[in-house]
């Protein structure tokens, strides 16, 4: 597979951009003499931007980690809906990596957070997405995800 020089340069640029966002997020989480609390909201935004940059560079493992860190920052800020969205994005990134069981676990976690947040319609859509993902390799599990039993 031939890759053009421009493509490689763009990927390198996106990776550097992602790393810069990670560094800024870490800075936002630091406390000090004049800054007593971490800025979880700003850190989450930086992690989201980092994830996007890594995805554009096809660095899916780094993108997944950035999404997970974004989710933790949102959880620390008590923003369950946004944390759930980040977990769902991490799951979709795992899908790109062909790690379907792990992807489904994260999307199921997102669905539970949507329910805790009081958005059952979004939870249902997430479960439907998870069912479609796992249905390719495990149809029985897909049915259990989409149509849970009480037993």
pLDDT per residue as tens, the chain (151 positions): 556 787 889 899 999 999 999 999 999 999 999 889 999 999 999 999 999 999 999 999 999 999 999 999 999 999 999 999 999 999 999 999 999 999 999 999 999 999 999 999 999 999 998 888 877 666 676 666 666 655 4
Give the range of the structural domain holding residue 147, as residue numbers without chain letter.
Answer: 81-151
Residues 67, 92, single domain; the answer is no
Of 53, 78, 103, the residue at which a domain comes to its end is 78
Residue 40 DSSP SS3? helix
Residues 74, 88, single domain; the answer is no
For position 5, what pLDDT does the model report?
80
Task: Record the pTM.
Answer: 0.87
Could you give the number of structural domains in the chain? 2
Residues 74, 63, single domain; the answer is yes
Residues 11, 54, single domain; the answer is yes
Residues 37, 49, single domain; the answer is yes
Q: In whole angstroms, give the CA distance from residue 103 to residue 12.
A: 26
Q: What is the Cα 52 distance to its own chain's centre?
A: 10
Quickly list DSSP for 76-134.
HTT-HHHHHHHHHHHHHHHHHTT-HHHHHHHHHHHHHHHHHHT-HHHHHHHHHHHHHHH
Query: For residues 44 and 70, is the Cβ–Cβ distance under 8 A?
Result: yes
């Amino acid at each position: 597979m031939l890759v053009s020089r421009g493509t490689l340069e763009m990927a390198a640029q996106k990776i550097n951009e992602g790393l810069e966002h990670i560094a800024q997020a870490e800075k936002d989480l630091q406390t000090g003499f004049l800054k007593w609390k971490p800025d979880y909201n700003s850190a989450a935004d930086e992690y989201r931007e980092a994830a996007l940059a890594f995805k554009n560079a096809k660095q899916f493992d780094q993108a997944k980690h950035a999404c997970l860190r974004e989710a933790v920052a949102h959880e620390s800020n008590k923003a369950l809906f946004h944390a759930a969205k980040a977990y769902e994005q991490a799951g979709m990134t795992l899908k790109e990596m062909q790690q379907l069981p792990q992807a489904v676990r994260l999307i199921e976690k997102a669905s539970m957070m949507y329910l805790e947040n009081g958005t059952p319609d979004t939870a249902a859509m997430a479960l439907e997405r998870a069912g479609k993902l796992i249905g390719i390799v495990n149809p029985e599990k897909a049915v259990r995800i989409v149509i849970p039993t009480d037993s």
